[in-house]
Amino acid sequence: MQFATTDLVVFAGYIIAMMGFGIWIANREKATTSQDYFLASKALPWWAVGGSLIASNISTEQIMGMNGSGFEIGMAIASYELMAAITLIIVAKFFLPVFLKEGISTMPQFLERRYNKSVRSIMSIFWVALFVFVNITSVLYLGGLAIESLLGINLIWGILGLVLYSASFSIFGGLKAVVWTDVIQVVVLVLGGSLASYFVVSAVGDGSFFSGVSTLFEKTPERFNMIFSPTDTYTEQLSGETKSSYALLPGFAVLFGGMWIANIYYWGNNQYIIQRALAAKSLGEAQRGVAFAAFIKLFMPIIVVLPGIAAFILNADIEKADEAFPWVLNNYVSTGFKGLTFAALVAAIGSSISSMVNSASTIFTLDIYKEHLNTEASETQLVRIGKIAAGVALLIGALLGPLLGNLGQVIQFIQEYTGFISPGVVVVFIFGMFWKRATPNAGLAVVLASIPLSIAFKALYPDLPFVDRIAITFLICVFLLIGISLYEIKTKKQAVNDSRFRWGVIAAIIGIGMATGIRILFEDIPNVGNGTGFLVIALSIAAIALVLGEKKGDHEKALEIDNDLFKTDSLFNISAIAITLILVAIYSTLG
């Protein structure tokens, strides 16, 4: 890719300015306590929470990977962004009030409070390993690869540059420095991405953006189909092979089924995402920030998908689909703006890395070091260990990152390994919050069973789409948790006083398990018989019957939650309604 001197000056100026700003923030307000370092002194306003959520989420896999998917399969890939918006509203409404009421700093702390120390310890180790060996490593690799393809810089040097860039504010300044740099970076990200989309779509429309969008609809209407059927296919750019679109996004599963597991886990139980909300000034500020992030999510397909579709219409001369965005950047973004747009890409990568590093450091320090290695650690020691852990996490990621070049589909690597644990995690959190009979042994069993169950279903049903496999694993984990809990609790009570929460749990079983079974039954999925659909439906009905019919006593560690806890202000309620209506309009129009 050819960059003019002006582009390089803009890009280099941005990188230097951001590093300087991060270092300034870190030195202006030095973190002296663990709350300062890991939770930004619990003083974040709503706009910082929302901006940081988006900056932490958007990275190379979205900007380059989703534009590549837009090139090959179209707007349907935007379901990940669009359904994230409604998931964020659910998390803000029902999850954040519980987390903030419990006063936790990490997700494992909640698991100990509701279950026991064993569940906390197991998940702490797993999450640190996941962040370091999967998330940080893969984002560094993908970021280095993007820099190599765009600037021609060797992969190793690209990764090293990202490490230095992220370290400048993530190690010394903690979450506060990460969030305040995120606020700037999300502005650059949206501005730079919007410019790229505007220029390339306007080229399709002979100078008019809106005319370009209309032309895209006219010339490739199939790329605006949001719900695939089992017969829908696409042509892979790299190999020229015809492949199943349905295998990537299986029909209505993007609205009902396993997609909810991926979204709830990522937005509601993921430390490096939820940590921003935990650091808010108040519950109201946290909820408004999350709603703000949800609105931005509705806008993101314009940046992360539309340029890829435009590149297809413009007959982009690329070898593989992931090169669609670099091709747009090189051919349709003018001098100066090209440097800004490239800076937006690096901003996205840097934000994601720094967020993951900070969260890995938070869990290691508070859930492993303080709980098992030095229970008497002072606040100063915790901050120092947090900085060391952040540095080690970056170093490991930098050393392992280049090795991912042998994996091929790196995004699939991330999804598969995260998907192994996410069903079990979602079960223990949902039932831990809203079902008072869940016992520690049941929670431990589900956490331990989730990975082997996921591996078994991958082996038994290799042709079953990924989101369907995690939905079935979720359902079995539900059955396991309910069964063990009801077996262990011997006391009974005459009246049920938590029926509203029970119906919430049942809604989750219907929307994920039952919906998946019905879809498998009525959609002709290759090599997956109707018997699988009937089995999933039967398991769903049995789980619902158990929840409705049981009258066991509450477990001693059950959370005391009042209905008033979930009351939200009018601004949040209006935002939630608006987001829901926009999503209904999108899927009604394009579905």
| Whole-number Å distance between alpha carbons of 253 and 487 | 33
Q: What is the pLDDT of residue 408?
A: 45
Sign of the alpha-carbon dihedral angle for 434, 129, 136, 369: positive
Q: How many domains does the chain have?
A: 1
Residue 157 located in a structural domain? yes
Residue 153 located in a structural domain? yes
Residue 560 located in a structural domain? no
The 10s digit of each residue's pLDDT in 471-521 is 999 999 999 999 999 999 888 876 666 677 788 888 889 999 899 999 888
The 10s digit of each residue's pLDDT in 193-249 is 899 999 999 999 988 999 999 999 999 998 999 888 888 888 888 788 888 888 888
Lookup result for tokens 């869940």: 438
Give the range of the structural domain holding residue 83, as residue numbers without chain letter: 5-27+39-194+280-298+308-408
Sign of the alpha-carbon dihedral angle for 405, 409, 410, 414: negative
φ and ψ at 73, to 5 degrees?
A: -115, -15
Residue 48 located in a structural domain? yes
Q: What is the pLDDT of residue 446?
A: 95
Smallest CA-to-CA distance from 525 within 260, 231, 257 is with 231
Q: What is the pLDDT of residue 409?
A: 46
Residue 425 located in a structural domain? no
Residue 141 located in a structural domain? yes
Q: Report which DSSP code applies to 221.
A: G
Beta bridge partners of 244: 233
Residue 207 located in a structural domain? no
pTM, two decimal places: 0.92
Number of Cβ within 10 Å of residue 28's Cβ equals: 10
- The CATH number covering residue 9 comes to 1.20.1730.10
Beta bridge partners of 492: 552
Residue 264 located in a structural domain? no
Please give the span between the terminal C-alpha atoms of the chain, in angstroms, as a whole number: 37
